[in-house]
Homo-oligomer: A and B are copies of this chain.
């Protein structure tokens, strides 16, 4: 059951209004990571609530408490919960999105003012902070609601909305809300939810729509080597004492090889090797070495084989060295022997890895390598934080509905992808609600979500709105 033609016609004939609404949303600098902008995040939440109310959605703001940021205690932005439809004969779809954005300053290298939506008629791009992450997708849902209200059309499903204002700053408070609501069972806000749809990631490229069914997890480590009581001068003490940097760099050099192999015994081994059938999944994805090299701006792909590169990102763990705290980091030359240095690295996890199963392998290995150094310096290893990987059943009717909707709107079969990064709330919804979660991206792989000149192509905004609406009809029609 595709969407009724008058729905898609309405979308096509109201694009200017949709873009104006996106401009209004982008104009509110709802940067959750900057205390100076906290009031703007609240303003954005109220703006969104007003929009939902005017489109017939019953809403409430949920207070998520306080937290400390930049040394001050701040009120967390509220979760905006919304509901429309209570027909027991219809399925109930939960939509998640976030109304906060990443920081942006024109001086970061933006070509235009980041909080003023610019419509570039030549390229068809809608440029501005939050255009694609995640205001555009949220507004896609508003567009769908507006069309139905204006046309007097009944929604094909019951809808529930969960919008937060802290996603870019660790989603503080949201997990507790989801868990306490699901603890109420059928009487909780999420009690009758049949499936979840999240539009907060991107196509693999700039051409082909995709459905995303997996996310990597993460575990982040800090390895500290300490020696002298204070920083020393390398003239006075070089070759007289054990230097913490020497030892730390030895340890860091033993974690990952140039080709990406994780050298910590057992970590790579936890993941099964892809068989021919699985490998074929990656071979068929619309992707090329050129895509990744354009994305990173240099010919540095780990392999010339596209499937190998994609598997490295989607179905294999990775280990990245991020930096060293406590060492000299400025420009120029300073002849310091730093007293205590902390190497930072993280491992992206894939099933069946979890932070709990990987941590002991990391600790044991680093401790044994450090012992081999025969140094008098001291070692400390910390697990700073982590999250499990997530993978969904992409043969579920929720994915099938999204596939049919994509075929109806884009006239092509979507790619089935996994993401290398994490959207932790995905796992929370999947585990707490016990229903299938679908990631249905609106934007393209080159949108630059956290970067300068963030954009959403107008065509993705328009066709993406049709996709979200059509998806609801396909969910309604499909036999669960």
Are A300's CB and B242's CB within 8 A? Answer: yes
Decide yes or no: A245 and B323 within 8 Å by CB, A421-B235, A450-B233 being known contacts: yes
Q: Tell whether, in the assembled complex, residue A240 and residue B420 are in contact, meaning their CB atoms are under 8 Å apart.
A: yes
Chain B residue, CB-CB nearest to A385 = B333
Segment 343-363 of A: residues with Cβ below 8 Å from B? 344, 346, 348
Within 8 A of B (CB), among A222-273: 222, 227-230, 232-243, 245-247, 249-250, 252-254, 256-260
Using known A-B contacts A239-B312, A239-B313, determine if residue A228 contacts B335 with beta carbons closer than 8 Å.
no
Which A residues between 64 and 103 are near B, CB-CB below 8 angstroms? none
* A229 and B313 contacting across the interface, CB-CB below 8 Å: no
What are the residues of chain B within 8 A of A230 when measuring CB–CB?
A: 296-297, 451
Nearest-Cβ distance from residue A366 to partner chain B, whole angstroms: 14
For residue A410, CB closer than 8 A to chain B, the reply is: no
How would residues 316 to 359 of chain A score, 1 for a CB under 8 Å from any chain B CB and 0 otherwise?
11111111110111111111111000001010100000000000
Whether the pair A298, B229 counts as a contact (CB closer than 8 A) is: yes
B376 A300 Cβ-Cβ under 8 A = yes
Query: Is A182 in contact with chain B by the CB < 8 A criterion?
Result: no
Rounded to whole Å, the gap between the CB of A444 and the closest CB of chain B is: 14
Count of chain copies: 2
Interchain nearest-CB distance for A421 vs B (Å): 2
Q: Contacts A239-B312, A241-B302, A300-B376; is A258 near B246 (CB within 8 Å)?
A: yes
- Does A25 reach chain B (CB closer than 8 Å)? no
Is A155 at the interface (CB under 8 A from chain B)?
no
Quick check: B450 and A300 within 8 Å, CB to CB?
Answer: no
Interfacial chain B residues near A384, Cβ < 8 Å? 332-333
Taking a contact as CB atoms under 8 Å apart, the answer to whether B241 and A321 are in contact is no
A377 at interface by CB-CB < 8 Å: yes
Known: A218-B235, A384-B333. A240 touches B292 (CB 8 A): yes
Query: Given A259-B374, A318-B234, A322-B327: A301 and B338 within 8 A (CB)?
Result: no
Q: Separation in Å of the A261 CB from the closest CB of chain B?
A: 9
Which residues 202-233 of A have a CB within 8 angstroms of B?
216, 218, 220, 222, 227-230, 232-233
Q: Does A61 contact B (CB under 8 A)?
A: no
* Given the contacts A316-B239, A323-B327, A376 and B252 also touching, CB distance less than 8 Å: no
A432 at the interface (CB under 8 A from B): no
Asked whether B421 lies within 8 Å of A236 as measured between CB atoms, the reply is yes
* Alpha-carbon distance A338/B227, docked complex (angstroms): 27
Check if B322 sits within 8 Å of A330, measured CB to CB.
Answer: no
Contact, CB under 8 Å: B232 / A321: no
A331 to nearest B CB, angstroms?
6
Q: Closest Cβ of chain B: how far from A220's Cβ, in Å?
A: 5
Residue of B nearest to A250 (CB): B253
Q: Give chain B nearest CB distance to A374 CB in angstroms.
A: 6
Taking the complex as formed, is A309 at the interface, i.e. its CB lies under 8 A from any CB of chain B? yes
Looking at A228, A239, A331, which has the most chain B CB atoms within 10 Å of its CB? A239
Given contacts A235-B419, A302-B242, A328-B322, contact A258 B335 (CB under 8 A): no
Q: How far is the CB of A401 from chain B (nearest CB, A)?
A: 27
Q: Verify if A428 is at the interface (C-beta below 8 Å from B).
A: no
A62 within 8 A of B: no
Bound form: Cα–Cα A118–B384 in Å: 45
| Most chain B beta-carbon neighbours within 10 Å: one of A227, A299, A323, A385 | A323
Residues in A lying within 8 Å of B, measured CB to CB:
216, 218, 220, 222, 227-230, 232-243, 245-247, 249-250, 252-254, 256-260, 292, 295-302, 309-310, 312-313, 316-325, 327-338, 344, 346, 348, 373-377, 384-385, 419-422, 450-451
